[in-house]
């Protein structure tokens, strides 16, 4: 079976392949990369929140003001319950200080991750915080933002594709089509066939008959 593309197919195929390649790169590489960047930024932001709490926690641990310590951590858990699913505080010997009762054992969910944050004063180890985060809310927001940008890029690429097709049709396909019709008329013995207008490109050189675009 002999399969041959016409001039339109030969001009369009590279653009279609480029568009498909662009879509594949977006879905398989760019979008996952943006989501991972969003996840890393979320975790870093939570570390910065713990860092902002650290001076008060250090002071309460050193002074053994456990009542204020518990009240402070409970308040933080209440205010950040959308992102903080579980927080545990241990002293330097590994003894649990918060909460008093160990939470039920549970493996991290698909959107959950743990932060192990060390508390220290100069070179003295005061303990550590184990914070379980749930970044599903931020994941969905990041995904929505990425999808919006992806749609913009696809629309922009689609417009470039359509403009390229129009440009190719006007500058390549139409002149070649007129040249083909003129050649067919010449082959049928019509020597008054009008060739396409002479231009300064390869098609123009083909159509240059030397006398008003008429073959003589």
Integer Cα distance of 89 and 68 in angstroms: 14
Q: Per residue of the chain (216 residues), what is the pLDDT tens digit?
A: 444 566 667 777 787 888 888 888 888 899 999 999 999 999 999 999 999 999 999 999 999 999 999 999 999 999 999 999 999 999 999 999 999 888 888 777 889 999 999 999 888 899 999 999 999 999 999 999 999 998 998 888 888 888 887 877 766 777 777 777 777 777 777 666 666 666 666 666 666 654 444 443
Integer Cα distance of 203 and 130 in angstroms: 73
Domains of the chain, CATH where assigned: 8-140 (3.30.450)
pLDDT in the model for residue 26:
86
pLDDT in the model for residue 50:
95
């Amino acid at each position: 079976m002999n399969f041959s593309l016409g001039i339109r197919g030969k001009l369009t195929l590279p653009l279609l392949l480029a568009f498909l390649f662009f879509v594949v790169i977006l879905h398989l590489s760019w979008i996952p990369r943006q989501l991972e960047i969003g996840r890393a930024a979320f975790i870093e932001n939570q570390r910065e929140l713990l860092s902002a709490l650290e001076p008060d926690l250090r002071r309460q641990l050193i002074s053994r003001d456990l009542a204020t310590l518990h009240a402070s951590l409970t308040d933080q858990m209440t205010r950040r319950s959308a992102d903080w699913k579980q927080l545990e505080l241990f002293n330097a010997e590994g003894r649990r200080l918060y909460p008093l009762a160990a939470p039920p054992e549970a493996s991290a969910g698909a959107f959950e991750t743990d932060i192990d944050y060390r508390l220290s004063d100069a070179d003295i180890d005061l303990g550590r915080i184990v914070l379980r985060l749930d970044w599903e809310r931020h994941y969905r927001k990041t995904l929505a933002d990425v999808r919006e940008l992806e749609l913009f890029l696809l629309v922009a690429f689609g417009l470039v594709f359509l403009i390229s097709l129009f440009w190719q049709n006007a500058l390549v396909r139409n002149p070649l089509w007129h040249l083909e019709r003129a050649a067919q008329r010449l082959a049928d013995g019509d020597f008054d066939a009008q060739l396409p207008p002479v231009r300064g490109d390869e098609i123009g050189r083909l159509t240059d008959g030397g006398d008003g675009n008429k073959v003589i």
